Amino acid sequence: MTVAYDLYGVRNLGILSAKVNVERALGEAFEERESFYQGGIYYMLGGGDAENFVLKLNVDPFDSDAVEQNYSDYTVLLYINATDRSSALERVMRQAGFKLLRHEVF
């Protein structure tokens, strides 16, 4: 089985609007969390060693620069970790207005 780690981004959308779009597309509700390391409020679905989703602002809490320097024009990031359904999720995320920025397979 191929396990992928994908990064998606969306421009010109706030985190709450992005959350609504992703929840609607997936048919799942994200859990609100707070962590200084993650830049304050962020949203998560799943966890542990299984497939999980992390939705957060593209702002580094330490220096206020973009977390993902190569994609600094994307305001909100969606990390999809440890997934074996990358292709199917890409279609769903595209419909939610997100663009695939990085795809890594392990």
Q: In the CATH hierarchy, which fold is given to the domain comprising 4-105?
A: Double Stranded RNA Binding Domain (3.30.160)
Q: What is the model's pLDDT at position 39?
A: 86
- The torsion angles phi and psi of 24, rounded to 5 degrees, stand at -65, -45
Query: What does the radius of gyration of the chain's CA atoms come to, in whole angstroms?
Result: 13
Rounded mean pLDDT of 70-98? 97
pLDDT digits (tens, 9 = 90+) for 24-64: 999 999 999 999 888 899 999 998 789 999 999 999 988 88
Contact 73, 84 (CB under 8 A): no
Q: What is the model's pLDDT at position 97?
A: 96
Sorted by sequence, the CB contacts under 8 Å of residue 91 that are 6+ apart come out as none
Instruction: Of 22, 77, 82, 23, give the one whose Cα is nearest residue 47.
Output: 82
What 3-state class would DSSP assign to 35?
strand
8 against 36, higher pLDDT:
8
Q: What is the model's pLDDT at position 37?
A: 86
pTM of the model: 0.95
